[in-house]
């Protein structure tokens, strides 16, 4: 059993990066991810981590450096938020298409404008389809574990893809939580040395990221999509290995009191732990309510989601981002698509809330439950999404 420490989640994330023995950190500061790279710079400066720390001039450069580092067969790390992600967007897509493993933490924050430093999932959803493996963490322990998981999965020769870990800005990044650190021997057992299939080297010339003519571009992109879909078996294997090693087993869809539920809340990120308290309260009132927490965002776990929904009659999907003009939130639209052909398709109501960290309380989630029941019982064809708590709406 590793040592349990009370530590800010950002600092524990940096400690996990240290335990992964990365070769290079390239970063540009942006709230609320800055504490992660600040601590990594201290670890490198103090000799606790033998790595290159490159303070680049922009997030575009940070991702460019990580791409170069991964291309020569070294282990790279970066992190960013919001507008920083928007600036590195071009290279984010290139890293995935070139099949270059690395880990990036995205400290989730609102996309401007207006300017906001607070948390929601608009930055996540802006790169939903960038080709990276993407997972959500609900608490500090999950962040720590998934840094090591990210390298274990991404660097597998069956996968060779970058991995993005989503953690809610401020709600997690700046909060002190108890985190169980791994023993060095556990890390060594779980995370082998990075052995790329192809690497840039002057003695063995290869071409990466060459020009793609229309006659072959579609085939290349389909192959990239298939690689991401096929990565799920290795993701599952890595989670099982992690559980066998440290006793924490993760799943694509985490469930809470869902076995006999008629109504299920669906969440991503730190809202899940709050909603679990709502489920307990509603259960005490005799209501058969449960919770599904989506951990694996890409590749999307269709089969696991359908199985977890089971015979539930109602789904209450909580989104923290707007799909502008799309009539709902991104998570809800994906789930509707997943269940479109199901024989017993449940009623789906969608609430968009918590934008820029506006408070959403236990009472608010109870109100969403009651509002959903009113819609379903009164007029199931009524508009099935709404902006919760928006003044004048």
Decide if 55 is inside a domain. yes
Decide if 392 is inside a domain. no
Name 123's Cβ contacts closer than 8 Å, sequence gap at least 6. Answer: 81, 82, 85, 86, 106, 108, 109, 110, 111
CA distances from 75 to 192, 196, 202 (A): 12, 10, 19
Q: Which pLDDT value is given to residue 289? A: 98
In whole angstroms, give the CA distance from residue 275 to residue 122. Answer: 20
Q: How many domains are contained in the chain?
A: 2
Domain end, chosen from 246, 279, 310, is at: 246
For helices 34-45 and 9-19, what crossing angle results, to 10°? Answer: 50
Q: What is the mean pLDDT of each run of 10 residues along the chain (393 residues)?
A: 89 98 97 98 98 98 98 98 98 98 98 96 97 98 98 98 98 97 97 94 90 95 98 98 98 98 98 98 98 98 96 96 93 92 87 97 97 84 81 82
User: What pTM did the predictor assign?
Assistant: 0.97
Residue 326: which CATH number? 3.40.50.920
For residue 371, give its domain range: 253-387
Residue 81: which CATH number? 3.40.50.970
Q: Which pLDDT value is given to residue 341? A: 79
Contact 386, 352 (CB under 8 A): yes
Is 258 in the same domain as 367?
yes
Helix, strand, coil % in the chain, rounded to nearest 5: 40, 20, 40
- 3-state DSSP call for residue 80? strand
Is 169 in the same domain as 150?
yes
């Amino acid at each position: 059993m590793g040592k349990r420490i009370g530590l800010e989640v950002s600092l524990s994330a940096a400690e996990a990066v240290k335990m992964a023995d990365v070769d290079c950190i390239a970063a540009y500061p942006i709230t609320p991810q800055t504490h992660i790279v600040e601590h990594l710079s201290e670890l490198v400066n103090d000799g606790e981590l033998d790595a290159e720390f490159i303070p680049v001039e922009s997030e575009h450069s940070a991702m460019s450096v990580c791409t170069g580092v991964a291309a020569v067969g070294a282990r790279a790390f970066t992190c960013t938020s919001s507008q920083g992600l928007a600036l590195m967007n071009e290279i984010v897509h290139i890293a995935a298409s070139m099949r270059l493993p690395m880990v990036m933490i995205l400290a989730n924050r609102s996309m401007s404008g207006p300017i906001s430093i607070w948390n929601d999932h608009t930055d996540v959803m802006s790169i939903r389809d960038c080709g990276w493996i993407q997972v959500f963490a609900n608490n500090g322990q999950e962040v720590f574990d998934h840094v090591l998981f990210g390298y274990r999965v991404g660097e597998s020769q069956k996968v060779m893809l970058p991995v993005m870990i989503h953690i809610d800005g401020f709600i997690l990044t700046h909060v002190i939580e108890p985190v169980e650190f791994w023993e060095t021997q556990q890390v060594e057992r779980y995370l082998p040395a990075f052995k790329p299939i192809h690497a840039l080297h002057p003695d063995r010339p290869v071409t990466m990221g060459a020009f793609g003519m229309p006659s072959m571009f579609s085939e290349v992109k389909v192959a990239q999509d298939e690689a991401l879909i096929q990565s799920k078996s290795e993701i599952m294997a890595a989670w099982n290995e992690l559980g066998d090693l440290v006793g924490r087993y993760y799943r694509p869809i985490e469930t809470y009191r869902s076995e006999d539920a008629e109504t299920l809340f669906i969440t991503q990120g730190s809202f899940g732990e709050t909603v679990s308290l709502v489920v307990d309260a509603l259960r005490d009132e005799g209501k058969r309510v449960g919770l599904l927490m989506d951990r694996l965002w890409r590749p999307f776990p269709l089969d696991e989601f359908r199985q977890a929904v089971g015979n539930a009659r109602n789904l209450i999907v909580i989104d923290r981002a707007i799909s502008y003009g799309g009539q709902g939130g991104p998570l809800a639209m994906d789930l509707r698509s997943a269940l479109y052909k199901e024989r017993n398709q449940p009623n789906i109501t969608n609430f968009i809330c918590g934008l820029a960290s506006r408070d959403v309380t236990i009472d608010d989630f109870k109100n969403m439950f009651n509002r959903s029941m009113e819609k379903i019982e009164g007029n199931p064809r009524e508009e099935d999404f709404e902006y919760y708590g928006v003044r004048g709406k």
